Amino acid sequence: MSWKKTSCVLCGNRCGLEVQVEDNRIVKVRGDKDSPISEGYVCRKGLNVAYHQHNTDRLQYPLKKVGDRFERISWEQTIGEIAEKLKGILAQHGPRSLASMVGGGEFAFLSIGFPVRFVRRLGSRWNYSAANQEFSGRYWAHGLTLGSQNIQMEEDFENCDMLILIGKNPMMAHHFPQAPRRLQKMSKDPDRLLVVVDPRLTETARLADIHLAIRPGTDALLLKSMIAIILNEGIYNKDYIAQHADGFNKILPWFAGFDVRAALKVCDLDYDTVFRVCREFATRRSSIIDDLGILMGRHSAFNSYLLVVLQAICGRLAVPGGNYLHGGGTRSDPRDPKVWRTLLTDIPAINGMFPPNVLPEEIMHDHPERLRAVLCWAANPLRSYADTTAYEKAFQKLDLLVVAEIAMSETAALAHYVLPCKTAFESWEGDPGMGFEKVYARLRGPVVEAEGEQKENAEIFTLLADAMGLIPPIPDALYEAAKSGDLNAYGQKLGEFMMASRENAAAVHFVVAKTLGPALGSAHLASIFPLFMLLSKDRQEEAARAGFPAGPDQGLSLYRAIMDHPQGVLIGIRDPEKNLEANVSTKNKKIQLYNPEVEDWIRKINPAEEEAQLKQDANFPLILMAGKHMDMNANTAMRDPAWNKNRRACTLAIHPADAEALGIIDKQMVKVVTEAGEETLEAEISKDCRKGQVVMPQGFGLFYDGVTYGANVNRLTKNTNRDFVGTPMHRYVPCRVETIG
């Protein structure tokens, strides 16, 4: 049987896959050795994508809620009724009553822009996003220091000889391509140093040369200590600071006289070891990269800020072997009065988006412009976002909840209308640009056929946009050019159409989906086309370096190369030496170390005040790490529990000493209680846990085939346990554990 090329959609790495298909079922999966990104790597989740693709929860037809049941209706009726209801709501309450909610549900990004554009074109900027429940703090910090909230960092793994992973567990969660393979190699290399900062002895910490088993929630003290040590020892990079940073002298008082020894005692860390880590970090080709342990931890946004300062004073930002920058562009700035702020919770747009944790409050209040309609796409807020109970109440109050899904999720079950989508294996999908130094693109076709009336994500939102009158009249000539199969001619006609009016240009994505989509048989396939017609000057130069000469044919030859290489193809080469100037977008192109917004806070990070804040309520003496990402979950995207048969998948991990004190034995059912609610699950006694901290995975408590599997971690998280940009403190949830029976 032949192997078909596709790619995994169960995490952001999007590894290349090859699958065998029998009777329209994926029956065998292997890693695609031809994939330039994953080079044959595949993890347990990828090998099990069939469970994601084929399951009894798959949606086949549009559904409408009638009473407390769903009825099957036609697409025409669905789109017509949604448009009519939406028009009514907008006419009565204004555009601010509408929000989109976009999830991480589909790590194939071709269609993500469609729901966002749809809402924007209707005059609302309320786009809530999964990204803003993890990265808001980082976006905020990068906006202040680097000049754009959209700047991302990526470790130069191959070229660093020291890597610090702080609050990140890639042996389980990956979060960079081929992570286990590469970390194991690094761990064995005597010339490379791996440092892991994690309260638990994680799968990654086991590989580390140095494991800093930090007390949960104290990373701000550690980062401040590290900066203070480096400044005191004079081992900062004077040349780099002089050339690339502003405000160095103004931040010195933040760290002067800081009691590092007392601080590290609060962190429960050894001074000499931290001192050694600082010395190595300041003098080697070092890189430091954080993740949810920091991003969803106490002081989330400020920790991201300190991470920039630490890297900048050591000259490790935007240099080979350090962290590269990419992105830029979106510049929503919380200091700009034009930036929208949520009405009740007063959260500014961060990187143009809003955090899901405040959505229930934005629905529940009495403001005349409160949210009344939500379009939810590839997200499962009822399991994924903080405080399921708050979400249940809020979503029941909506006048219109539309959920575009591949499965009958817990959120879809509450919707007024459910729109069935094709999965990424039934659609054209891909990535217009992956990687930093070498940029790859990939577009691959469907490997199985949809067995119902499902449509591609982008097509659905194009139909809705049309029904709402958001697509201007399209000349016949454009349709004809699309049908002719001559992409050159189509590109020309499209260019003319866009030049004709601003309205036309603004609707280009929908127009392409509506004209080229049917001609190519896929709105997704069509949607990539304008991306290559509208390349920025930088992208044109990058493409030229990758062998696509600049000129009028460049866009088309890129498009063709992508079509010819379903495993991915090199489309750009970036110059690492120019990374800083190409990305830092502050006015003088320097990293801004000093910003008045953080001054007060940084001063308050001291051992005495932190110790006082860390003092626990007698009612909730343990800290719950609410949502481990491990190889038995894929957020909520793996609904069929059969893929974890005979595994202990959803347990509460607890240290032996805590278990003993509470009289808990292994495999016993226990109850976890927090301010938000309670859940019951099986205890797993584990020495890898830290005393005082219990650990529960995320992505369980799913209702599948009439049965609920595992416990829902977000029944335990309170939506108000968040920081000032709305990031949930999922890594620091006070709780208690009770025995049952």
Query: Binding residue for ligand SF4 (CB under 6 A) from 42, 99, 318, 650?
Result: 42
Q: Give the Cα separation of 152 and 156 in Å (integer).
A: 13
Strand pairing category for 569-573 and 438-444: antiparallel
Burial of 123 (0-12, 13-18, 19+ CB in 10 A): exposed
Q: Is 635 in the site for ligand MGD (CB under 6 A)?
A: yes
Between 176 and 271, name the residue whose CB sits nearer to ligand MGD: 176
Q: Is 13 in the site for ligand SF4 (CB under 6 A)?
A: yes
Structure tokens belonging to residue 486: 């001559």
Burial of 127 (0-12, 13-18, 19+ CB in 10 A): buried
Q: Give the Cα separation of 115 and 127 in Å (integer).
A: 9
**Pattern 409-438, binding to Mo ion, x per CB under 5 A?**
------------------------------
Q: Is 450 in the site for ligand MGD (CB under 6 A)?
A: no
Q: Which of the ranges 113-121, 128-136, 342-350, 491-499 carries the binding residues for Mo ion, by CB under 5 A?
A: 128-136
417 beta partners: 64, 402
What stretches of 521-626 show up as alpha helix (H) in DSSP?
Answer: 523-527, 529-533, 537-545, 554-564, 579-583, 596-604, 607-614
Query: Binding residue for ligand MGD (CB under 6 A) from 117, 121, 125, 628?
Result: 628
| In the complex, least distance from residue 31 CB atom to ligand SF4, rounded to whole angstroms | 7
Task: Say which residues have a Cβ less than 8 Å from residue 397's Cβ, sequence separation at least 6.
Answer: 363, 364
**Pattern 83-122, binding to ligand MGD, x per CB under 6 A?**
--------------------xxxx----------------
669 beta partners: 682
**Pattern 115-144, binding to ligand MGD, x per CB under 6 A?**
---------------x---x----------
Between 46 and 115, name the residue whose CB sits nearer to ligand SF4: 46
| In the complex, least distance from residue 631 CB atom to ligand SF4, rounded to whole angstroms | 8
Length, in residues, of the chain: 741
Q: Residues binding Mo ion: what is the number (CB under 5 A)? A: 1
Q: Which of the ranges 85-93, 196-204, 488-496, 595-603 carries the binding residues for ligand MGD, by CB under 6 A?
A: 196-204
Q: Is 434 in the site for ligand MGD (CB under 6 A)?
A: no
Residues 154-183 within binding reach of ligand SF4 (CB under 6 A) = 174
Q: What are phi and psi of 49, to 5 degrees?
A: -60, -20
Query: Binding residue for ligand MGD (CB under 6 A) from 7, 124, 145, 714?
Result: 714
Q: Give the Cα separation of 304 and 294 in Å (integer).
A: 8
Q: In 10 A of CB 57, how many CB atoms? A: 16
Q: Is 50 in the site for ligand SF4 (CB under 6 A)?
A: no
Query: Binding residue for ligand SF4 (CB under 6 A) from 43, 223, 295, 314?
Result: 43
Q: Residues binding ligand MGD: what is the number (CB under 6 A)? A: 64
Q: Are 404 and 378 in contact (CB under 8 A)?
A: yes
Q: Are 356 and 436 in contact (CB under 8 A)?
A: no
Between 295 and 374, name the residue whose CB sits nearer to Mo ion: 295
Task: Say which residues have a Cβ less than 8 Å from residue 392's Cβ, sequence separation at least 6.
Answer: 382, 414
- Give the 3-state secondary structure of residue 111: helix
Q: In 10 A of CB 648, how many CB atoms? A: 12
Residues lying near ligand SF4 in the complex (CB under 6 A): 8, 10-11, 13-15, 42-43, 45-46, 174
Residues lying near ligand MGD in the complex (CB under 6 A): 11, 45, 103-106, 130, 134, 166-170, 172-175, 197-200, 202, 214, 216-217, 219, 291-294, 297, 377-380, 384, 404-407, 409, 421, 423-424, 457, 625-631, 633-637, 698-699, 713-714, 717, 730-731
